[in-house]
Amino acid sequence: MALETWNTPQHILVILAHPDDPEFFCGATLAKWAREGHHITYLLLTCGDKGFNPTTDPAMTPDRLCAIRHEEQYAAAKVIGAQAVHILDHPDGYLIPDLNLRREVVREIRRHKPDILVTCDPQNLFAAYGINHPDHRAAGQVVLDAVFPAAGNPVYFPELLEEGFQPHMPKEVWCSLTLQPNVTLDVTDTWEIKIQAILQHKTQVQDPAKLIERFKSRRTEDSTEENPRYEEKFRVVKYN
């Protein structure tokens, strides 16, 4: 797909499941957009409160981790250049793309009125580490279901009209973490920013040196270690 240049600053809403998902999935792209002058807002459906091992960290609790991950996400978003972070604090690991969650996401789309919506591909069952987290798939599914047909149509969830949320339809939806991309962006210039943002998620990064090594090795096959090039890929759907 050929990308059109955005001639004016765009309002970009990123809806994903957990703190650190924006940075891991598409952080270099978000950093690139932020430096181009676009307004980026994060909306995370959970606070990732189960992202720890009680065997190795017996002092940690879900409530304590939830609070820590809020702070980590604020720090990472600042590195990326995102201007706002909202976390809905649904229980980690239990996301279901049902009508209640869909209504909630429709409400947030209508509240924030994004030009561009970023989420992840719900069809991606497998990831480099094994099975893709069910929350990732649920988040992508509920966001796509909220966008079409509900967000822009007043007869869906009419109770939201009574709350003051008028229909809104984003112009484009960008699905990260996809195995069927139709857009590839060169993000070499902001790859280091992505890494530094991920490192803000200290509870999720056990070995920073290995993480840096792993992400620096993800250069394109046609580049070299001395002159690396990095890409991020998306499935993009346009509505105008």
pTM for the structure as a whole: 0.96
pLDDT at residue 127 in the model: 79
Which ranges of the chain would DSSP assign to H, the alpha helix?
Answer: 21-35, 62-80, 99-112, 134-145, 159-162, 191-198, 208-216
Q: Hunting for tokens 């924006």 — which residue is that?
A: 22
Q: What is the pLDDT along the chain (240 residues), one digit of tens a residue?
A: 445 579 999 999 999 999 999 999 999 999 999 999 999 999 999 999 999 999 989 999 999 999 999 999 999 999 999 999 999 999 999 999 999 999 999 999 999 999 999 999 999 998 777 899 999 999 999 999 999 999 999 999 999 999 999 999 999 999 999 999 999 999 999 999 999 999 999 999 999 999 999 999 999 999 999 999 999 999 999 997
Q: Looking at the domain that runs over 11-238, which CATH code has it been given?
A: 3.40.50.10320
Report the C-alpha dihedral over residues 102, 235, 70, 129, rounded to 10 degrees: 110
Domain boundaries, the chain: 11-238
Q: Are 124 and 177 in contact (CB under 8 A)?
A: yes
Q: Which two tokens stand for residue 147?
A: 């966008």
Candidates 119, 176, 178; CA nearest to 147 is 119
Q: What is the pLDDT of residue 4?
A: 53
Q: Mutual orientation of helices 62-80 and 191-198 as an angle, nearest 10°?
A: 160
